[in-house]
Amino acid sequence: MIDTHSHLFEAEFQEDLELCIQRCKENNVHKIILVGFSESTNSKAYDLSLKYDIFYPTAGMHPSEADCDFEKKFQMLVDFIQSHKIYAIGECGLDYHYGKENAEYQKKLFEYQILLAIEKDLPLIVHSRDAMKDTWDILSKYKGKIRGVMHCYSGSWEMAKEYIKLGFYISLGGPVTFKNAVESKRIAKEIPLDKLLVETDCPFLAPTPYRGKRNESAYVWYVVKEIADIRGISFKQVEEQTEKNSKIVFGL
Ligand SMILES: [Zn+2]
| CA 25–ligand 1 middle distance (angstroms) | 22
Model confidence over 147-156: pLDDT tens digits? 999 999 999 9
**How many whole angstroms from 200 Cα to the centroid of ligand 1?**
9
How far is ligand 1, taken at its centre, from the CA of residue 38, in Å?
A: 11
- Output the CA 208–ligand 1 centroid distance in Å: 19
C-alpha separations of 242 from 56, 114, 132 in Å: 16, 24, 24
Tell me, in angstroms, the distance from the centre of ligand 1 to residue 90's CA: 9
How much distance in Å is there from the Cα of 55 to the middle of ligand 1?
Answer: 15
- What letter represents residue 147's amino acid? R
Residues flanking ion ligand 1, Cβ below 5 Å: 201
- Residue 101 Cα to ligand 1 midpoint, Å, equals 21
| Per-residue model confidence (pLDDT) at position 93 | 98
Distance 7 CA to ligand 1 centre (A): 7
- What is the second-level CATH architecture of the domain 2-250? Alpha-Beta Barrel (3.20)
Q: According to the model, what pLDDT value does residue 49 have?
A: 98
- Report the predicted TM-score, pTM, of the whole model to 2 decimal places: 0.96
DSSP labels, the chain: -EEEEE-TTSGGGTTTHHHHHHHHHHTT--EEEE---SHHHHHHHHHHHHH-TTEEE-B---GGG-STTHHHHHHHHHHHHHHS--S-EEEEEEESSS-GGGHHHHHHHHHHHHHHHHHHT--EEEEEES-HHHHHHHHGGGTTT--EEETT--S-HHHHHHHHHTTEEEEE-GGGGSTT-HHHHHHHHHS-GGGEEE---BTSSPPTTSTTS---GGGHHHHHHHHHHHHTS-HHHHHHHHHHHHHHHHT-
Q: How far is the CA of 6 from the centre of ligand 1 (A)?
A: 7
Low-confidence ranges of the chain (pLDDT < 70): none
CB 5 within 8 A of CB 201: yes
pLDDT number for residue 80: 98
pLDDT, one tens digit per residue, over 185-244 is 999 999 999 999 999 999 999 999 999 999 999 999 999 999 999 999 999 999 999 999
**Distance in Å, CA 201 to ligand 1 centroid:** 5
Please report the pLDDT score of residue 138 as a whole number. Answer: 98
Please name every residue paired with 78 in a beta bridge, in sequence order, or none if there are none: none
For the chain, give every domain's residue range.
Answer: 2-250
pLDDT for the residue 52 = 97
CA of 5 to the centre of ligand 1 (A): 6
